Amino acid sequence: MIVLGFFSALVLGTLALMLPVATAGDEPADFMVSLFTAASAVCVTGLTVVDTPTHWSGFGQLVILLLIQVGGLGIMTFATTLGLLVTRRMRMRSRLSAAAETKTGSIGGVRGLLIGVVRTALLIELAVAFVLWLRWWIGYGEHPLQAAWLAVFHSVSAFNNAGFALWSDSLSRYVADPWICLPIIGAVVLGGLGFPVLHQLRRYHGRVLHWSMNTRIVLLMTGVLLALGSVLFLATEWANPATLGRLDVGGKVLAAFTHSAMTRTAGFNTIDTSAMTSTSWFGTDILMFIGAGPAGTAGGIKVTTFAVLFFIILTEVRGEAAVNVLGKRLPRTTHRQAISVALLAMAAVVGSTMILLAMEDFGLDRTLFEVISAFATVGLSTGITPDLPTAAQLILVALMFMGRLGPITLATALVLRRRRRMYELPKERPIIG
């Protein structure tokens, strides 16, 4: 149902963007442009094949905004909440689907979690939009209504980690403006934490002892990766005149921190990504692939998966039997899930990169960057996506779809089926390593 829900939203979004009223010019958008843009919006990615502010009309931009909001909250979350508001009750099928999408432990808490998800998302988006509205109105002299539209669009795009912007250079013109960058970073990070984490933070506030292992891992890994990413980009881009080199010290720090935050799968850029060094591209690849928190608006394999893999390796190196994380023992099913997610993600990225390299010769650095950006639903780009052939763009669409749903969800829905063997085979161990 989750897969069909996202596919239905993709179809409806494509049809809406193909309407003549959706484009700024006289000609309606063709199918491929509409499909790619709708997929990028509903999968909250931000990759584009056309210039968003000049190609799409106000109606087209509104369609993109709605697709971002629906895709970010989740199709089942949105549909179930809408049904709950209309009928005041939840059917068991809807409860199960919403529980699967939001990674709720039991269906009993779905109703409260869904209401909390929508309420939290709207409050954060409104708060960020208010700050941005004041800045664009008072600081930059925009008309109050235009400032409000800009604020709402970028607030929703930021919280849902979509990365769509209403300027051709994304947010590059505001590279040194903390009143624009910091609220957007805040929305990006909060959206990337995941709804279960936000729910616990809202419920327990500062009572750390009540936080689950998931919440602790997500908060710890988010802080560590934000800091490491900032230091990496400061070191690799400090003297690059096309990126940080032209800024003062304060501007360099803000721009590096902003780029590190955007690799949490947000996709806005305040510096020219295509002009970054190869080292920065590779560092960005790693951060994008890891992503942010599970059951939220971000993509990637998720910080929890990365942490579990790290502790599995640490346990093997130590020669211990059980994998322990933050004072708790991990069940073996979690080991298998983490390994499966990571290997499926690597297979999707490596396979797609090889196919794209066979189609066009943009080099490994740029091609790998674009593939990971699509799979991790990031939206950062080296600028080659519009120049890719149609077949390559369709591969990116498939990667965005897989990245938003998760490789395990998609594989289970399309290929596999859950079954339980009534017998066990004899054990035998191959040589590992």
pLDDT of residue 114: 73
Give the separation between CA 301 and CA 310, rounded to whole angstroms. 13
- CB burial of residue 66 (10 Å; 0-12, 13-18, 19+): middle
Spell 364-386 as b/e; 16+ CB within 10 A means b.
eebbbbbbbbbbbbbbbbbebbe
pLDDT of residue 298: 85
Helix extents (H) in 238-385:
249-262, 278-290, 303-318, 332-359, 364-375
Helix extents (H) in 330-389:
332-359, 364-375
What would the mean pLDDT of 288-295 be, rounded to a whole number? 90
Q: What is the pLDDT of residues 354-380, one digit of tens each?
A: 999 999 989 999 999 999 999 999 999
**420 vs 230, higher pLDDT:** 230
Identify the band that residue 97 occupies on the pLDDT scale cut at 50, 70 and 90: low
Evaluate if residue 123 carries a pLDDT over 80: yes
Evaluate if residue 74 carries a pLDDT over 80: no
At residue 361, what are phi and psi to the nearest 5 degrees?
-110, 75
Within 8 A by CB and 6+ apart from 169, the residues are none
Identify the band that residue 99 occupies on the pLDDT scale cut at 50, 70 and 90: low
Answer for the pair 293, 300: CB distance below 8 angstroms, yes or no: no
What would the mean pLDDT of 2-7 be, rounded to a whole number? 82
**54 vs 202, higher pLDDT:** 54
How much is the mean pLDDT over the chain?
A: 88
Identify the band that residue 119 occupies on the pLDDT scale cut at 50, 70 and 90: confident
Answer for the pair 262, 380: CB distance below 8 angstroms, yes or no: yes
Structure tokens at 43: 């999968």
Q: What is the pLDDT of residues 380-418, one digit of tens each?
A: 999 999 999 999 999 999 999 998 887 767 666 665 556
Evaluate if residue 429 carries a pLDDT over 90: no
- Tell me which residue has tokens 């934000």: 226
